[in-house]
Structure 1
Amino acid sequence: MTAAQPLFILGNPRSGTSLFRIMLTSHELISIPPECGFIQWWHEKYKNWSLADAQSTTSIKSYLNDLATSKKIETWNLDYQSLEELIFTEKPATYSDLCLVVMKQFSLQTRNSTPRYFGDKNNYYLKHLDLLETLFPDAKYVLIIRDGRDVACSYLKIDEIKTTSLYKPQLSNDIQEIAEEWTRNNTRVLEFFENKKENSISLRFEDLLIDPEKELLKICDFLSLPFDAGMLNYAELNRNKRLEPSQLMDWKKKTLEKPDVSNISKYKDQLNSNQIKSFEEYAGKKLLKFGYELENKL
């Protein structure tokens, strides 16, 4: 089996996780496919996967038929014939190993180098952290935190987007609901990290925009990888190699641009005073904990 280590990017929706995925997958030793929650979706059916299954044409074809129906998996453009052959070759003896073989197939199709990390970025996993820990006890985790008031702005903008894509995010447009979700999601991940101090790290989206090289150096150090300057050229690589699928681009255009600090504190112009007050009344303590100043006293 492959020796590559799993890496999971976590974060509240609209917190810059897609931008960060593009940055990291621009490193020659990190491969992170577009988002798809197949690991969790097919766990119940295939959790007892064994070496015998990996040597059974019937079992492999059954899995591949199911995998092909996974939401967004078509954006990976997987070669299923090659994946079938790879499963026979790699002989994954557990469901965890089977998932890593799928990741490896994507990597083989999209790059020449052999990665040290197979990554996964999916906000969906915020509700399935215990499963990730069970399947991949040695995985690394990175949490992206963004000012919740700017997250609220992004939620509201998503609601206005006109698109033909089947995958437009379904997000709340109620400020208090957004504040509750933002607080709950970040709290859940940080509590999960309490027992994973050596294998987890968090960073602020704003710091990534202000000094991307500094923050990416921290991540490379965390992953024990050499710095790869290609990560700073993520926008060009995304344009040339379509690292972010076109089906999702209507709300992910920022992944085609260089870091834009004008996206910091945009809530001051886009939210009214009542909206800001409402958000801070619920999430103010968490904002302060993450180093964000309040517009109103608690």
Structure 2
Amino acid sequence: LRRWRCTAFTLLFVVFLLLLGFRIIDEPVFEWKPLKMTDNTEQRHSPIIFVGGVSRSGTTLMRVLLDVHPWIRCGPEGMVIKPVLDFRHSMPRFHMNWSRQAGIYPTLLDSAISKYIRYIVEEMGPPANILCYKRPEVLLYTEYLATLFPDSKFIIMLRDGRAVAVSNKRLVLIAHEMANVSFRSTGPTFARLKLTCRRNTTEKMHNVLNRWMLENINLTRACQNVGPKRCLIVRYELLILNPERELKLVTRFLDIPWDPVMLHHEELLRNRPSINPYEPSTSQVKEKINNEALARWFTDTDNDTKIFVKEAPQKCFLLKAFGYLNIGVPPDYSKLPRDLPDVSRFKPPKES
């Protein structure tokens, strides 16, 4: 009898533990609540100006001109924000669904990305009334950034695609010469740059022009969708020809007072840590604004460049749509129209 009672008590105790265990498993320890993004958190920070456009279109110059304004702090170009934006927009749907099951909803991810971007921009330099971040390709995400930062504004630089392609060629050739001096024709870096130069033919420049067309259609469409109160497209050529007029339009767009100091950026750059030696345009923006680069692409005597310049109008419809083929040969950029056509009807070309 005593053994039977002991066995029964043991069984009851085991059943009690099992029931208690199931109860612990069934009942959540805490209740998860989705994180909600509110405008209140943004109001405690300085607004951000995002500067971008196709590479070699004057983005560094615009950033430097803004940086000397007493209300604005930009700083050198950073390389750590675009990879995060690429990651966010290239994440497979399977990963997004998996993350949802783990409690990582898109709103939570977007909130984390916005805080990451703002923290990077704020900590890049001293505080200012208005912060600025420049990276050419970042504005391919203009509409997404506009939702993350409701008080942000965007400046897109636009330049003649033929000039961009030839400038890209010259940049690669300069890098080739630097590698030749630094590495004495040895080492993987030199070999890679040398290979790039060999491929830098007329076809290579057409590939750059095709990329210019693709990205500018996307940039202009995004800018037009965001609206003129938050996004401004500045023609590089008009900025060079009449900097005071164009910069006054920029300050009016940003709703900040005009300051003539923006016309003498080269004098202030000597005392500011806003120049990055790794940026390709550093040597150029140290100089006073001049129009030497406007017609450099047209006067290039290289045979590949001559062929490219001749063929470009037939292979890039956006040159005409943006007014670059209606101002003579060589082009008189002072006749460029300020307004751009509605690009929503344009079909982006295939990537080369």
User: Which residue is equivalent to 2:9?
Assistant: none
Question: 2:161·2:209 contact (CA, 8 Å) conserved in 1?
Answer: yes
What letter is aligned with 1:101?
A: Y
Deviation at 1:42, TM superposition (A): 4.3
Ranges in structure 1 where 5+ consecutive residues have no aligned partner: 46-92, 109-113
CA distance in 2: counterparts of 1:130 and 1:11, whole angstroms: 14
Question: 1:37·1:124 contact (CA, 8 Å) conserved in 2?
Answer: no
Matched, 1:278 2:320: no
SS at the partner of 1:38? coil
Q: Alignment identity in percent?
A: 25
More divergent stretch after superposition (205-214 vs 115-124): 115-124
What letter is aligned with 2:67?
A: T
Matches within 5 A, 1:97-176: 97-108=115-126, 114-161=127-174, 162-163=177-178, 173=200, 174-176=204-206
Matches within 5 A, 1:1-298: 2-42=44-84, 94-108=112-126, 114-161=127-174, 162-163=177-178, 173=200, 174-197=204-227, 198-248=229-279, 251-270=281-300, 272-283=305-316, 285-293=317-325, 295=329
Question: 1:175·1:278 contact (CA, 8 Å) conserved in 2?
Answer: no
**1:151-204 CA deviation, whole Å, 9 max, x = no partner?**
1221111111134699x9989831210110111111111110122112111111
Question: 1:6·1:139 contact (CA, 8 Å) conserved in 2?
Answer: yes
**1:201-238 CA deviation, whole Å, 9 max, x = no partner?**
11111111111111110010001000122211211222
SS at the partner of 1:219? helix
Aligned pair in 2 of structure 1 residues 127, 225: CA closer, same or farther (>3 Å)? closer
Deviation at 1:121, TM superposition (A): 0.9
Deviation at 1:288, TM superposition (A): 2.6
What letter is aligned with 1:277?
A: K
**RCO comparison, higher one (Cα < 8 Å, 6+):** 1
SS at the partner of 2:232? strand
Question: 1:37·1:125 contact (CA, 8 Å) conserved in 2?
Answer: no
CA distance in 1: counterparts of 2:312 and 2:294, whole angstroms: 17
What letter is aligned with 2:72?
A: I
Aligned pair in 2 of structure 1 residues 287, 105: CA closer, same or farther (>3 Å)? same
Aligned pair in 2 of structure 1 residues 19, 280: CA closer, same or farther (>3 Å)? same
CA distance in 2: counterparts of 1:144 and 1:119, whole angstroms: 15
SS at the partner of 1:221? helix
CA distance in 1: counterparts of 2:307 and 2:278, whole angstroms: 35
Work out the number of aligned pairs and report it: 241
Question: 2:169·2:205 contact (CA, 8 Å) conserved in 1?
Answer: no
CA distance in 1: counterparts of 2:59 and 2:167, whole angstroms: 13
SS at the partner of 2:70? coil
When the two structures are superposed, what TM-score results if normalisation uses the length of structure 1?
Answer: 0.72
When the two structures are superposed, what TM-score results if normalisation uses the length of structure 2?
Answer: 0.61
Deviation at 1:95, TM superposition (A): 4.0
CA distance in 2: counterparts of 1:235 and 1:290, whole angstroms: 31
CA distance in 1: counterparts of 2:234 and 2:161, whole angstroms: 14
More divergent stretch after superposition (178-187 vs 116-125): 116-125
CA distance in 2: counterparts of 1:16 and 1:266, whole angstroms: 15
What letter is aligned with 1:196?
A: V
More divergent stretch after superposition (8-17 vs 126-135): 126-135
CA distance in 2: counterparts of 1:163 and 1:241, whole angstroms: 26
Question: 1:15·1:151 contact (CA, 8 Å) conserved in 2?
Answer: yes
SS at the partner of 2:233? strand
**1:52-84 CA deviation, whole Å, 9 max, x = no partner?**
xxxxxxxxxxxxxxxxxxxxxxxxxxxxxxxxx
**1:253-285 CA deviation, whole Å, 9 max, x = no partner?**
1111111112112222116442112222222x3
More divergent stretch after superposition (168-177 vs 254-263): 168-177
Aligned pair in 2 of structure 1 residues 223, 127: CA closer, same or farther (>3 Å)? closer
CA distance in 2: counterparts of 1:138 and 1:233, whole angstroms: 29
